[in-house]
Amino acid sequence: MDEALVKQLKQRIETELLKREREFVEYWLEELMKIDAKRHKELAAFQNDVKNLISRMQNRLKNLRSSKSG
């Protein structure tokens, strides 16, 4: 393979990975900011929202792992 082509492909892959990582971080930051914006009056309500977010993240990770191996 041509060295210039390899370098170009590598750059495209790195750009795409950075884009996906940025989108990932932006999404979960937005979800956390939604929880923060609620201004919970009780600790239990805050804990419940955090637990729900954790559960959603765990489910997403489980789905990603199973689709990768499938």
Residues 6+ apart with CB under 8 A from 59: none
SS3 70: coil
pLDDT greater than 60 at residue 70:
no
**Global model pTM greater than 0.75:** no
pLDDT of residue 69: 61
Give the model's confidence band at 64: pLDDT under 50 very low, under 70 low, under 90 confident, else very high.
Answer: confident
Dig out the tokens for 3 from the structure. Answer: 């060295």
- Each residue's pLDDT tens digit, 27-63: 999 999 999 999 999 999 999 999 999 999 999 989 9
Q: What does the pLDDT read at residue 1?
A: 73
Domain that holds residue 46: 3-69
Count of domains forming the chain: 1
Say if residue 68's pLDDT is above 80. no
